[in-house]
Amino acid sequence: MQNTSQWLEQAKEHLSTQTENKFISVDKNIEIEWLQGVILSPDLANFKKDVSEIAAQQISKNETNFLHSHPEAADSEFLLKPCAPLFKNGLENIDWNMVEKQIQKTVKLFYHADISSFGKAAIKPLMQDIYICVTAKNVRTKELLGFAMFSIAPTLPRGTVKIIHIDIKQKAQDGGLEKLLTSSIFKILPNTKRLFLGTRPTNKNVIENFNSWGFKETANPITDKTHTINQMYFTVLEYIANQCDTLQKAAKELS
């Protein structure tokens, strides 16, 4: 597809010229900070370690909920495979608290892992990707309240950014922080044209929230060919910037 690697280079150039990596929300309560990294960069590794606790808490809840509806996924999904032994005695005998704890443990291990140890075959498709990592903190206490990870790969169409994860602390989930973090990409990279993400079909609240901001479900997403999405277990949502300006308006509230 034309203008793919060109988009990656344009994004890199734009990000490298930015002199400001912190923004404040319109109510002066939230500090948004971002950094750029590549798959083996220390900055990305440190970011993942810093957000690992929030990631483990929120991902484990969502994945456990998903397994209630799709227990067979424990045999094939990366983060769920360590749970498979907990399913061997039948659904009626599953200790769901243990399932959630095992997923938490797996997520923490992954977020703290040395990516280089995964081997060249696993890392090679990711080597040219760039990652935009965003945190949201309480201005006064500096408490980490949530984070977002975005990525751009060489095979993505021009203007397209993938949302890898957005996770918010439980106590901060009703304050509009998820929308603020999602919109931050338009402050960081204003020439973004399209966002997409995959979320579990059981994440009803997430899907409802994203739909309210202008995301729409798509059965035929233009995703990164080197990072496919299993549409049997994920719902793909996309946001087209020239069809909706909800997030662009929210980004303008960051200063």
pLDDT given at position 125:
87
Decide if 166 contacts 189 (C-beta within 8 A).
no
Which residues have C-beta within 8 Å of that of residue 173, sequence separation ≥ 6? none
Q: What would the pLDDT profile of 66-88 be if each residue is shown by its tens digit?
A: 999 999 999 999 999 999 999 99
Owner of token pair 């204003």: 190
Alpha-carbon distances, residue 148 vs 4, 54, 138, 160 (angstroms): 23, 11, 15, 16
Q: How confident is the model at residue 2 (pLDDT cuts 50, 70, 90)?
A: very low
Give residue limits of the domains in the chain. 1-37+129-255, 39-126
Rounded CA-CA distance 151/146 in Å is 17
Q: How confident is the model at residue 3 (pLDDT cuts 50, 70, 90)?
A: low
Q: What predicted TM-score, i.e. pTM, was given to this entire model?
A: 0.95
Rounded CA-CA distance 221/104 in Å is 30
- Residue 229 in 3-state DSSP? coil
Q: Which amino acid belongs to residue 163?
A: I
CATH number of 1-37+129-255: 3.40.630.30
Q: What would the pLDDT profile of 207-226 be if each residue is shown by its tens digit?
A: 999 999 999 999 877 777 77
Q: Which amino acid belongs to residue 108?
A: K
- Rounded to 5 degrees, what are φ and ψ at 162? -95, 135
Average pLDDT, rounded, for the chain? 94
Q: What would the pLDDT profile of 157-205 be if each residue is shown by its tens digit?
A: 999 999 999 999 998 988 799 999 999 999 999 999 999 999 999 999 9
Which of 188, 208, 231, 168 lies closest to 30 in space, CA to CA?
168
Mean pLDDT of 48-66: 97
Instruction: Determine which helix (DSSP H) or strand (DSSP E) holds 16, and give its type and residue range.
Output: helix 4-16
Mean pLDDT of 135-140: 97
Greater confidence (97 vs 228) lies with 97
Decide if 145 contacts 30 (C-beta within 8 A).
yes
pLDDT given at position 1:
43
pLDDT given at position 220:
78
